[in-house]
């Protein structure tokens, strides 16, 4: 069976051509993503704006790098994301104005991107196009954000990381969730599916575990529901299932404040991944064949998503950048590389130390840390025709020569030559010479300035583990 | 009696800066009471069609945004789409225009948004008891706000006579579909004997409503949206004109829509008319010919009838500028019905209809800042 090609360049860099920005631009052409774009095409560059206070979003220049190449191909790019559900009490992207404020705070503005920054489903999240998805495993329709649906081409530019519900978020998730309008997100959350006791179309509820008015977070909990679907009083937790549309807000609030009343049933997560793959298929159906390219930066690989309003230590060290025409193959390749990679010390790896001594070599890291295999979305993506799992990595090393060094710099020729001409006009550095220093012959020996006795210094460190870890010599 | 505030355009020294007088007037009482702490206040501005050079200066829009912030409101800076392009193009063109014209987060401290979504379909259908319209689609972000400030670039308008508070509110705050509803009565007239069969009208109509049959244009009435622009602008020999008999119906629809907007906002609407760069065409045109009166300043009020009446008075009192359309339409004098002479449409009938619907009073007092 023919394998889908996935281009890959690693995150290490030791010279000009190896900057991740330069490699990402190279990969855009190596993977022939430029062929998705015809002159004059309106091109959606779908990214994750990141939630307010998230600290591991993609650096703006990693996005601007691709905007620049889309323009170079004659495309007219716009950077976009969509409004979210209010999945936590301080949702910062659920309406267009807040989403743009959040984007600006993370550095995504017209000025830094060099193109418009758009909330693709409008102010309220209502601006969408309904699409039939005949091959959907669970979802038979999708609601695609209008700006994405109406674009001529798209670069699906993902940040690969974990997710508390989808287990993993890469290219499938970036369009599967991120390309849906608000309606589409409720639909793929499976809201109002089955009956409340199935715990699939509704949160899993254990009202006997609610601490009621004694819970220090009970007001936040009540405030967190955008539909007033429950209230808390002396008798505990009262839930009106009719009103609930499964935005996750109560579950996130309850779970992340350390409580157990509103949670997810483990069965929910595989279905959520499958629905997400169907929604991704829906987004792809709004583009003609060959008009979408997929890229992902697998760096800052946080166990949780950019939708979470904080960030923690990654699960693996930075891996690199990927590009492909197949959204399933690229995610399959990324997941395998994450599993093969060494664990990043601290964080999720540390949490596993008492259980099994940290991540084991080659282990499915997200399956352990999130509790569900991340690969349901891949198999569902194969089933609904989104793509193929069988991939072939095409490793890329940039050529190291003068021409390639010049290729992605701020100007096409060495800027030192500009400086040379300026010094010829007026050399204000030379004008201030000689500079006032201690005479050369009188300079002190640097031996006196060597750091003090290190062992003594280490004994005074406040944390014993640091002292133990570094004081081995 | 309604109050209309006036901030004159003349600045004779640094202590009479227009921006300071403008902000001071807004802050000192005009905007207070319009909204409470933390409420969403839509500030409707017009970015202007991409190649238009005479849209409102961003500094003036920023002044309104800053005052809303300082009074504790949450400004939502919005514009809406204009008619006349493919769905995938309309939103795109607006995005290019806002940046090119200086309306972006870097200059204004706030990102402007489309109040009616990327294709003009994010809307709310609002009922209204008008003579032309029983309901109209209002741009969603406007309908979801708790208060509204309408910033209007005063110009002539080919079918309303005046583009001021009523047009900026009624048309400007309607979604794209709402605008089509308002423009629906307008239709092109093809002067068949002037036509030379070049086909430019067919080529430029964004709605595929003009077809050439035997070398002469005919209109597909169902497809025509009444944008009243592309076919007539494209004709090199002036053989396409817009039927002026429909202007009255257009004016009434504008007012019906403005009434719907004020109803949806429960009356919490304030209007700012910018009488600077007063040109013959509204900002939705991709060109804008030179101004026909000199800059007069800014007029503002809670009452759109009073405001537009006051605006007409100021324009008519002004001398027309030589070398502009005022000269060609013989309205250089300072008591001419300038807009009627320039456009052929009487703006007072629109204002009278708005008064009839109870939107305001034409008896007002002008207060100078």
Establish if B38 touches chain A: CB-CB under 8 angstroms.
no
Instruction: Output the pLDDT for position A398.
Output: 98
Task: Name the strand (E) or helix (H) holding A100.
Answer: helix A96-105
Q: Is pLDDT at B323 greater than 90 in this prediction?
A: yes
Which pLDDT does position B169 carry in this prediction?
Answer: 98
Alpha helical stretches, state H, A320-443? 327-340, 347-351, 353-356, 365-370, 376-383, 402-407, 416-425, 428-431
Mean local confidence (pLDDT), A40-56: 97
ipTM of the complex: 0.84
Token digits for B13?
Answer: 């020294």
- Encode pLDDT of B106-151 as tens digits: 888 889 999 999 888 999 999 999 999 999 999 999 999 999 999 9
B316 close to B334: Cβ distance less than 8 angstroms: yes
Q: Which residue of B has its CA nearest to A116?
A: B95
**Alpha-carbon gap, residue B281 to B52, rounded angstroms:** 10
Tokens read off for A53: 């206070």
Average pLDDT over residues A384-406: 98
What band does A457 get if pLDDT is binned at 50, 70 and 90?
low
SS3 B309: helix
Checking if the pLDDT of A299 tops 90, the result is: yes
Q: B264-296: per-residue pLDDT in tens?
A: 999 999 999 999 999 999 999 888 899 999 999
In chain B, the DSSP E strands lie at: 2-8, 40-44, 74-79, 113-114, 123-127, 135-139, 147-153, 155-157, 161-163, 188-190, 210-213, 216-219, 240-242, 269-275, 297-301, 364-368
pLDDT value of residue B105: 86
- The mean-pLDDT minimum among B24-28, B202-206, B242-246 falls in B242-246
Q: Does A42 touch chain B (CB under 8 A)?
A: yes
Other beta carbons less than 10 A from residue A306's beta carbon? 27
Confidence of residue A246 (pLDDT cuts 50, 70, 90): very high
Please give the pLDDT value at position A452: 63
Q: What is the pLDDT of residue A269?
A: 97
Contact between B339 and B310 (Cβ < 8 Å): no
Average pLDDT over residues A186-190: 97
B87 interaction partners in chain A (CB closer than 8 Å): 150
Q: Is the pLDDT of residue A151 over 80?
A: yes
CA distance B178 to A180: 25
A110–B104 CB contact, under 8 Å: yes
pLDDT digit string, tens, across residues B30-85: 888 899 999 999 999 999 998 899 999 999 999 999 999 999 999 999 999 998 77
Tell me if chain B has a CB within 8 Å of the CB of A119: yes
- Residues of A numbered 145-164 whose beta carbons fall under 8 angstroms of chain B's beta carbons: which are they? 145-147, 150-152
Q: How confident is the model at residue B87 (pLDDT cuts 50, 70, 90)?
A: low
Using CA atoms, how far apart are residues A364 and A154, in angstroms rounded to an integer?
Answer: 31
Q: Which residues contact A410 (CB under 8 A, 6 or more apart)?
A: none
Average pLDDT over residues A339-357: 90
Look at residue A71 in the predicted model and tell me its pLDDT.
Answer: 98
Class of residue A196 by CB neighbours under 10 A (exposed 0-12, middle 13-18, buried 19+): middle
Got the DSSP string for B176-187?
HHHHHHHHTT--
Mean pLDDT of chain B: 93
How many Å lie between the alpha carbon of A291 and the closest alpha carbon of chain B?
15
3-class DSSP state for residue A21? helix
Contacts of B95 in chain A (CB under 8 A): 78, 116, 118
Closest B-chain CA to A44: B92
A472 pLDDT higher than 60: no
Q: What is the mean pLDDT of residues A10-24?
A: 98
pTM of the model as a whole: 0.90
Q: How confident is the model at residue B309 (pLDDT cuts 50, 70, 90)?
A: very high
Q: Is the peptide bond before A434 cis (omega within 30 degrees of 0)?
A: yes
- Count of A–B CB contacts within 8 Å? 88
The secondary structure of residue B27, as a DSSP letter, is I
- Tell me what the mean pLDDT of segment A344-348 comes to: 90
Can you tell me the distance from the alpha carbon of B348 to that of B332, in angstroms, rounded to the nearest whole number? 19
Tokens 């998705």 -> residue = A36
């Amino acid at each position: 069976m023919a394998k889908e090609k996935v281009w890959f360049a690693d995150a290490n860099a030791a010279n000009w051509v190896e900057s991740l920005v330069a490699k990402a631009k190279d990969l855009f052409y190596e993977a022939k993503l430029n062929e998705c774009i015809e002159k004059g095409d309106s091109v959606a560059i779908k990214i994750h704006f990141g939630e307010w206070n998230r600290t591991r979003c993609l650096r703006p220049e990693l996005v601007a790098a691709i905007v620049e190449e889309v323009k170079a191909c004659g495309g007219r790019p716009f950077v976009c994301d969509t409004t979210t559900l209010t999945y936590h009490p301080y949702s910062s992207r659920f309406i267009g104005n807040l989403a743009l404020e959040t984007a600006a705070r993370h550095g995504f503005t017209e000025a830094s991107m060099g193109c418009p920054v758009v909330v693709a489903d409008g102010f309220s999240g209502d601006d969408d196009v309904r699409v039939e998805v005949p091959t959907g495993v669970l979802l038979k329709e999708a609601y695609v954000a209008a700006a994405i649906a109406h674009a001529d081409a798209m670069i699906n530019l993902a940040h690969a990381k974990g997710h508390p519900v989808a287990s993993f978020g890469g290219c499938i998730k970036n369009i599967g969730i991120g390309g849906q309008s608000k309606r589409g997100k409720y639909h793929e959350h499976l809201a109002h599916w089955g009956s409340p006791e199935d715990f699939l179309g509704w949160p899993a509820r254990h009202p006997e575990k609610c601490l009621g008015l004694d819970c220090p977070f009970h007001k936040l909990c009540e405030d967190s529901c955008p539909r007033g679907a429950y209230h808390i009083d002396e008798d505990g937790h009262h839930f009106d299932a009719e009103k609930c549309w499964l935005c996750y807000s109560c579950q996130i609030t309850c779970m992340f404040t350390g409580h157990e009343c509103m949670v997810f049933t483990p069965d929910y997560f595989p279905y959520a991944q499958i629905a997400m793959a169907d929604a991704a298929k829906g987004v792809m159906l709004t583009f003609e064949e060959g008009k979408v390219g997929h890229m992902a930066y697998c760096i800052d690989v946080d166990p949780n998503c950019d939708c979470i309003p904080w960030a923690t230590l990654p699960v693996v060290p930075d891996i690199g950048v990927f590009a492909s025409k197949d959204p399933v193959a690229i995610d399959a390749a990324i997941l395998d590389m994450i599993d093969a990679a060494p664990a990043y010390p601290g964080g999720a790896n540390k949490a596993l130390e008492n259980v099994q001594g940290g991540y084991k070599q080659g282990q499915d890291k997200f399956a352990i840390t999130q509790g569900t295999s991340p690969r349901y979305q891949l198999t569902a993506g194969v089933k609904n025709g989104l793509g193929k799992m069988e991939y072939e990595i095409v490793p890329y090393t940039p050529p190291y020569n003068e021409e390639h060094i010049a290729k992605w710099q701020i100007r096409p020729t060495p800027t030192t030559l500009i400086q040379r001409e300026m010094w010829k006009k007026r050399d204000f550095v030379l004008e201030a010479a000689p500079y006032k220093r201690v005479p050369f012959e009188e300079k002190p020996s640097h031996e006196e300035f060597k750091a003090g006795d290190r062992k003594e210094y280490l004994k005074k460190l406040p944390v014993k583990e640091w002292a133990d870890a570094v004081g081995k010599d | 009696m309604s109050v209309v505030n006036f901030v004159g355009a003349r600045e004779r020294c640094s202590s009479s800066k227009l921006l300071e007088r403008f902000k001071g007037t807004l802050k000192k009482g005009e905007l207070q009471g319009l909204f409470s702490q933390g409420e969403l206040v839509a500030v409707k501005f017009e970015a202007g069609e991409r190649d238009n050079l005479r849209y409102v200066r961003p500094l003036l829009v920023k002044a309104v945004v800053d005052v809303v912030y300082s009074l504790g409101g949450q400004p939502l800076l919005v514009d809406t789409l204009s008619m006349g392009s493919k769905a995938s193009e309309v939103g795109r063109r607006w995005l290019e225009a806002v940046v090119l014209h200086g309306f972006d987060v870097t200059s204004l401290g706030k990102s402007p948004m489309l109040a009616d979504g990327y294709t003009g379909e994010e809307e709310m259908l609002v009922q209204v008891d008008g003579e032309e319209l029983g309901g109209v689609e209002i741009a969603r972000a406007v309908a979801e706000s708790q208060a509204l400030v309408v910033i209007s670039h005063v110009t002539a308008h080919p079918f309303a006579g005046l583009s001021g508070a009523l047009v900026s509110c009624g048309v400007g705050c309607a979604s794209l579909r709402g605008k089509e509803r308002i423009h629906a009565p307008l239709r092109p007239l093809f002067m068949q004997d002037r036509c030379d069969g070049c086909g430019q009208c067919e080529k430029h109509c964004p709605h595929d409503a003009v077809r050439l049959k035997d070398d002469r244009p005919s209109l597909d009435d169902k497809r025509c949206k009444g944008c009243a622009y592309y076919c007539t602008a494209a004709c090199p020999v002036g053989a396409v004109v817009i039927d002026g008999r429909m202007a009255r119906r257009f004016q009434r629809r504008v007012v019906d829509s403005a009434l719907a907007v004020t109803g949806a906002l429960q009356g919490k609407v304030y209007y700012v008319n910018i009488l600077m760069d007063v040109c013959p065409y509204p900002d939705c045109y991709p060109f804008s010919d030179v101004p026909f009166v000199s800059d007069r300043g800014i007029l503002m009020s809670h009452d759109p009838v009073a405001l537009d009446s006051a605006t007409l008075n100021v324009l008519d009192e002004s001398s027309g500028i030589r070398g502009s359309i005022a000269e060609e339409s013989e309205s250089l004098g300072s008591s001419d019905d300038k807009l009627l002479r320039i456009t052929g449409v009487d703006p007072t009938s629109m204002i009278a209809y708005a008064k009839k619907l109870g939107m305001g009073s034409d008896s007002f007092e002008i207060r100078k800042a």
